[in-house]
Structure formats: C-alpha cells, structure tokens
Amino acid sequence: MTNPAPMAEIWRGPFLESVHSGHAVICDDSGQIVQAWGDPEAVVLPRSSSKMIQGVPLIASGAADAFGLTTEHLALACASHQGAAIHTDRVGKWLGHLGLDDSAFRCGPQTPNDVPARDALIKSDQSPCQIHNNCSGKHTGFLTLAKHLGAGPEYIEPDHPVQTAALEVYERLTGVTSPGFGIDGCSAPNYATTLSGMARAMAHFASAPDGSAEERLRSAMMLHPELVAGEGRACTNLMRAMGGKVAIKTGAEAFFVAIIPEKKMGVALKISDGSTRASECAIAAILVKLRVLDAEHPETMKYLNAPIRNWVGTKTGTLRAAPTLI
C-alpha cells in the first residue's frame, strides 16, 4: 500500500504548523490513470460525492421524464444543500407532486446550515423537518424512482429496488465490485470502492454523450451550482468561478470529485484525516493544475493560499496546497 501524500499545509508565519495528507486520482475517458498522489487503489467511502451515480437510475429508468423533472430537480438530486428556502421550497413542491409529505423521507431531520432558515425556525419555535436535511433532494429522487417502479416505501434498505439499481450503476461506472457498504449520514447505504474507481466513474460522466443520464446530471449541476450546495459553499463558489464548465461535489469526511467535460477527465480525492479545509484546498489546486480554474480568481483564493485570521482579524497563517499538488 502506498502511503498518503501531503496535500494541504498550514503555515503560521515562517513555520509549517500542520500537514493534511491523502490520496487523489485523475482518470481519462478510457479509464486510465493520468496522475495519482498517494494510493490510487485505496478503498474509500465516497459519501455524498457519489450522489450523481445514485441519480443515474432516476433518469435511466424513465422516472425523471415520467414525472416531468427539470434540470433544477436533477441538480437537487445530486445536492448536499444548505436547507435554504431556495432548496426546501423546490424539494417541497417536488414531494407534493409525488403526492407525498415529509413523513415519506427516511433521512431524518436536520437543522439547516443556512443561517436565515435556521433563525426563522428558532424565532417561530419550530423544529427542523426532514426536508431540511441536506440530502432531501437525493431522497426525493429515490422516492420518485420508487414510485415509478411501484416499489415499497422503505427505499433506503439495501435490498430495495432503488438501492439495487444504484449499486448496479455504481459498480458498472467504477469498474469495481464493491466490497461492501457503510450507512451514510442520511441512512442510505454508501458503497465502498477504490479511489481510482471513483475517478473512472467521474471521467465517464465527463465523456458521456448528450442526452445520457450522466450528461443530464452533470449539466444540471453546472447550470445550478446554487442548488448543489448553497451560498458560501466551496462546490457552489468554485463551479461559478469555472463558468459552468466543470461539475464538482464534496462528500463528508473530506471527499471531493470533479467532472471535467472539456478534458473528458474525472478527479477523485480523499483527505485521510477527514479535514474539509484540506479537501477544498486540494481540489482547488488540482483544478488549477488542470487549467480549468483560475488561480487568481477571488473564489479560488478562498481555498488556495487562503489567509487564516484570528478573532480580531489579524492574519496568523495561510492554507496552501502541498508542493506535490502544484
């Protein structure tokens, strides 16, 4: 096994204070590794970075078209959203179109990360609902597929037709037989694969022909970056900075993927210690390296060579990509 490679560094003045290490892979449309750091065959749980793969059966089955889903719906199916009104209003209407309500979800309630939405709940003495869960768009996609298939309500069970369909696509696109799964934060199974397998799957999305499920999902993400994450989030900020030409998606515990159609390449990375600040820095560095993200763009500079400030605003350090990524 290859050891994790340094990917992000914290400097305080002239001192290297911390180093975040991990693994990263870039694959081309033939499935071959173009470049790798650390161990490309590391077994990983991609967490929410796999939502695009889980969304493929929604389209391939005919469910998306049968229910008249738009690009906004498809972006939300791939989202880890903030629970802002822009997200929950759309998910709520979609759920209503299915003839369902919040009780149909199996993802659990979550306090919104969006500050106005959170404060509105507090001021009105209301508890968060499942629709506020950052995965409620994905789960509405699952419910849409379940209804289209005439399957039962327990759509998160591993042997449910929704999940078996997702696993089939997952193994086909990664080219890897999954060794098993863990239960994600939203209660759905999250299947393990290799890092190179995830990069290979993202390259498949990048090179998929117009009209395919994969192309429709990646295009929806690039068209609606605000729905994929939300204001202030790296996914939204960096997709906007790239002018809608690249789709990127984070996952819990410092996972990140990128779909780059103009280069027909896919990227997958995992920071070993689960640090989100490091995964955001590393994905930005790789996108700059691939010349699809401007290093001097203001949004890029929030994650790459980003200042670290203390409580009075004094710059105390810098978050940088490790030299091996530059």
Domain extent for 289:
5-325
List all residues 6 or more positions away from 246 whose beta carbon is below 8 Å from its beta carbon.
222, 238, 239, 258, 259, 260, 261, 287, 292, 293
What mean pLDDT is predicted for residues 170-191? 98
Of the chain, the percentage scoring pLDDT greater than 90 comes to 99
Q: Residues in the chain, how many? A: 326
Residue-wise pLDDT tens digits, 44-59: 999 999 999 999 999 9
For residues 267 and 25, is the Cβ–Cβ distance under 8 A?
Answer: yes
- Provide the CATH number for the domain around residue 265: 3.40.710
Query: Model confidence over 86-119: pLDDT tens digits?
Result: 999 999 999 999 999 999 999 999 999 999 999 9
pTM tops 0.85: yes
Element spanning 213, H or E: helix 213-223
What per-residue confidence (pLDDT) applies to 212?
98
* Rounded mean pLDDT, 137-149: 98
Position 101, amino acid:
D
Instruction: For tokens 């763009």, name the residue.
Output: 297
Mean pLDDT across the stretch 29-53?
A: 98
Confidence (pLDDT) at 211: 98
> For residue 263, what pLDDT is reported?
98
Name the domain count of the chain.
1
pLDDT tens figures, 259-311: 999 999 999 999 999 999 999 999 999 999 999 999 999 999 999 999 999 99
Residue 1 pLDDT grade (very low, low, confident, very high; cuts 50, 70, 90):
low
In the chain, the amino acid numbered 183 is: I
On average, the pLDDT of the chain sits at 97
Answer whether residue 326 shows pLDDT above 80.
yes
pLDDT band at 217 (very low <50, low <70, confident <90, very high): very high
Buried b (16+ CB within 10 A) or exposed e, 271-309: bbeebbbbbbbbbbbbbbbbebbeeebebbebbbbbeee
Give the confidence band of 2 by pLDDT, cuts at 50, 70, 90.
confident
pLDDT for the residue numbered 76: 98
Mean pLDDT of 149-168: 98
Tokens standing for 93? 């209407």
